[in-house]
Amino acid sequence: MIRVRTALLSVYDKEGLEELARGLSELGITILSTGGTYSRLAAAKIPVTSVSEVTGFPEILRGRVKSLHPKIHGGILACRETSQDMEDLARHGIQPIDLVVVNLYPFEATVSRPGVTMDEARENIDIGGPAMIRAAAKNFPQVAVVVSPSRYPVILEALRQDGGIPISLALELALEAFQRTADYDGQIVSFLSKQTDTSELFPSQLNLQLDKVGELRYGENSHQRAAFYREASPSTPSLAAARQLQGKPLSFNNINDASGALEILLEYDEPTAVAVKHTNPCGIASAPQIETAFVWAKEGDPVSIFGGIVALNRPVDKELATLLMDIFLEVIIAPAFTEAALEVLAAKPNLRLLEIPINAKRQPYMDYKRIPGGLLVQEADTRLLGDKPRVVTRKEPTAAEQEDLLFAWRAVKHVKSNAIVVAKGKRTLGVGAGQMNRITAAELALKQAGDQARGAVLASDAFFPFPDVVQAAASAGIGAIIQPGGSLRDEESIKAADEAGISMLFTGMRHFKH
Check if the beta carbon of residue 513 is closer than 8 Å to that of residue 415.
yes
CA–CA distance from 390 to each of 13, 386, 484 (Å)?
58, 10, 10
β-bridge mates for residue 6, sequence order? 30
- Asked if 420 and 444 count as a contact pair (C-beta separation under 8 A), the reply is yes
Cβ neighbour number for residue 135 with a 10 Å cutoff: 20
> 147 with 133: CB under 8 angstroms?
yes
CB–CB of 99/142 below 8 Å? Answer: no
How many alpha carbons lie under 13 Å from residue 490 in its C-beta half-sphere?
Answer: 16
DSSP state, residue 425: S
> How far apart are the C-alpha atoms of 13 and 246, rounded to whole Å?
33
Distant-in-sequence, close-in-space partners of 39: CB < 8 Å, separation ≥ 6: none
Task: Single out the catalytic residue among 73, 92, 278, 414.
Answer: 278
Whether 278 is catalytic: yes
- Would you call 138 a catalytic residue per the annotation? yes
CA–CA separation, 286 and 232 (whole Å):
34
SS3 assignment, position 139: coil
CA atoms lying within 13 Å on the CB side of residue 423: 31
Nearest to 4 by CA among 84, 96, 79, 85: 96
Three-state DSSP class for 339?
Answer: helix
Angstrom distance (rounded) from CA 460 to CA 458: 7
**Which amino acid is residue 295, in one-letter code?**
V
Cis peptide before 47 (omega within 30 of 0): no
**What are residue 379's DSSP bridge partners?**
366
Whether the CB-CB separation of 136 and 100 falls below 8 Å is answered with yes
Is 325 exposed, middle or buried, given 0-12, 13-18 or 19+ CB atoms closer than 10 A? middle
Please tell me which residue in 45, 92, 138, 277 is annotated as part of the active site.
138
Phi, psi values for residue 248, rounded to 5°: -65, 160
Residue 31, phi then psi, degrees to nearest 5? -110, 125
Element (H, E) at 476: helix 468-476
Radius of gyration of the chain (CA): 30
Burial class of 177 by CB neighbour count within 10 A (0 to 12, 13 to 18, 19+): buried
Residue 379 identity (one-letter amino acid): E
Q: Which residues are catalytic?
A: 138, 278
